Amino acid sequence: MKERLQFLLIYYGFWVIFFLVARVIFLGYHIEDTKLLTLQTIWGIFWNGIRMDFSMAGYLSVIPFLLVSFSNFIKKSRLENWIFTYTFLLVLIANLIIVIDLQVFNTWGYHLDATPLRYLKTPREAWASVSSSPLFQLFISFLILLIVASLIVYRIITKNIDNWNYIDNIPFIPVSILITLALIIPIRGSTGISPMNQSTVYFSTNNFANIAAVNPTWNFFSSLVNGSYDKVNPYTYLPKEELSNNIKELYETSNITNKVLRADVKKPNVLIIIWESFTRKVTERKINGLEITPRFNELKKEGIYFSNMYASGDRTDKGIPAILSGYPAQPTASIITEPNKSAKLPVLSKDFENNSYSTDFYYGGEVEFANIKSYLFSSDFQKIVSKQDFDSQYWTSKWGAHDDIVFKRFLADHTKVNQPFFSTIMTLSSHEPFEIPIPDKFEGDDEHSKFMNAMYYTDQSLGDFIDSAKKQSWWPNTLVIIVADHGHRIPETGKKVEDFTIPMLWLGGALANQGLEIPKIASQIDISSTLLNQVGLNSYAYNWSKNIFDPKTKPWAFFSFNNGFGFIQPKQELVFDNVGKKMIQLNGSISTHDIDLGKALMQRMFQDYLDK
């Protein structure tokens, strides 16, 4: 009995050590973040994180423990093969999750969950998203981890099982089954009421430290099992009456709008340009004295620049409905991926079409990606131009046709076009892997340099497009809105809020004034109501959207990410982590009421998503 019980302990201990090593690798891979931590915090990562390692080790040990319990009835060779095969497959899967997670966190700022599985329906685009990652290094790391772990497992199994002798079943089976049942304690994380969850291992005000304490394998499988909130809102913070009062406070309105369009333009053409990964940080950055976006910075003098805009979410599939439907992004879901829900959203293209506008949407990539196509079709765009509509010779990006090609196609199609029109152009060249069809402007082959070069290229393409558009007959009656689909972590500042701060610029001959800056805090979701009020259309259906030019609307913005939210008010910034139920970033004097306002938005917005 002693040898078998010893084997169970060693087997369980293998998984615990395996996950401890994985955490060391995670900290080493993200060494720049790790160097900012104190030794006490690093110790806290391991001390708190080991509880989740114990939990995952418990899950993975159940089947081998049961096999050992009845080992007297199984041939040694067969038992060895079963346990080794089972463990090898789990090591393979766990290694894959651990290695992929290294780059997922590098890109998105959170652990791998079930989210990327949505994109496997469009493998080419999914590959384009990851192809800028250090794939060779990651593959080598995966291979080394797999070989080393497998050899250790093989050694543990053969060294122990080969030496087992026949023992009396009567005392051993109940003892081993009892030990197997005891795994429920580390699996649940305690003997208390609350089971293991991510917040169990959260311990620090530093969010990177909290994330490092989470076991990525546990996190991934947890998201598969619990990631779909079909009926229950996990963000229930406030009672109904308090919730309603807070929402009402945030959405005060006078139903008056200050007009910024020329009075003689009754039905202006509207063109919305959605710039991939565009962040305000880039517009303010110089490299060796050279601006990253010189053309955009010049255009700001010709239009109305909104200097305090915020993205609603962290991905394109969240940004599109935020801009076109005034609908807030969800932290752990995306409404655009669920056609039965997204079809219920109001959308600008329908409102303009109902007002005798022609409508079209231009994108150089695959609109099937992230289920964008179903959203566009339900939005009744009369014309959708995507990758397949460009000659294959122009598919020089992994995503499809580069931005300058798409802009030229739009101009060619709109040389003679029925006016008024409502159009949308979505760029793609500044998406990973940041490849561009022109020589690099800034030296460097690292991700940061590639991102800056991609931004510079799109900026030049946009500038050339605006130059050409000004010569078109439709320009004097046109409003152009340039806005990001979401922000980006590059250039890294360590401030979550700045990753969601984006530029927005209104241009065109339809504007009554030029060279204005609007410092009022606003969000992507406010574009719909603001635009419709400017052109004299009803914005009632866009109940999440505020009219920026209504003098009574309050200046605030809200954004969500996986798994948290940010709430911005004048001289106040807060970022709340939904997992640890704590603030992870604060700026300014924040009251309990301010926190409750953010929580009210998170609670009501997600409930609205569930109710769709």
We report the CATH number of the domain holding residue 377 as 3.40.720.10
Pair 215, 294 in one domain:
no
pLDDT given at position 600: 96
Pair 278, 155 in one domain:
no
CA dist 571 and 584 (Å) reads 17
pLDDT given at position 584: 85
Pair 291, 343 in one domain:
yes
Answer yes or no: is 611 within a domain. Answer: no
Pair 180, 311 in one domain:
no
pLDDT given at position 164: 63
3-state secondary structure of 91: helix
Residue where a domain terminates, one of 516, 535, 553: 553
Q: Closest by alpha carbon to 429, among 128, 105, 135?
A: 128
Q: Name the residue type at position 288.
A: N
CA dist 86 and 318 (Å) reads 39
Answer yes or no: is 601 within a domain. Answer: no
Pair 216, 268 in one domain:
no
Residue where a domain terminates, one of 514, 538, 553: 553
Class of residue 63 by CB neighbours under 10 A (exposed 0-12, middle 13-18, buried 19+) = middle
Answer yes or no: is 600 within a domain. Answer: no
Pair 308, 413 in one domain:
yes
pLDDT given at position 32: 87
Answer yes or no: is 580 within a domain. Answer: no
Residue where a domain terminates, one of 512, 535, 553: 553
Asked, as a colleague might, if the bond just before 239 is cis with ω within 30 of 0, I would say no
Answer yes or no: is 509 within a domain. Answer: yes
Q: How far is CA 36 from CA 42, 48, 206, 570, in A?
A: 10, 19, 10, 29
Pair 90, 198 in one domain:
yes
Answer yes or no: is 570 within a domain. Answer: no
CA dist 177 and 334 (Å) reads 43
Pair 287, 383 in one domain:
yes
Please state the residue numbers annotated as binding site: 276, 316, 431, 485-486
CA dist 468 and 466 (Å) reads 5
Q: How far is CA 92 from CA 28, 217, 420, in A?
A: 21, 12, 57
Answer yes or no: is 612 within a domain. Answer: no
Tokens of 128: 């384009």
* Run of H or E including 374: helix 372-378
Longest dimension (CA), the chain: 97
CA dist 560 and 576 (Å) reads 9
Pair 203, 260 in one domain:
no
Pair 198, 319 in one domain:
no
Q: Give the chain's domain count.
A: 2
Answer yes or no: is 584 within a domain. Answer: no
User: Which positions are annotated as active-site residues?
Assistant: 316
Please state the residue numbers annotated as binding site for Mn(2+): 276, 316, 485-486
Pair 192, 277 in one domain:
no
Pair 179, 51 in one domain:
yes
List the domain range (segments joined by +) for residue 267.
253-553
pLDDT given at position 466: 98
- The segments of the chain whose pLDDT lies below 70 read 1, 72, 108, 110, 114-136, 158-170, 172, 191-194, 199, 205, 226-231
pLDDT given at position 452: 96
pLDDT given at position 326: 97
CA dist 525 and 292 (Å) reads 27
pTM of the predicted model, to two decimals? 0.77
Please state the residue numbers annotated as binding site for substrate: 431
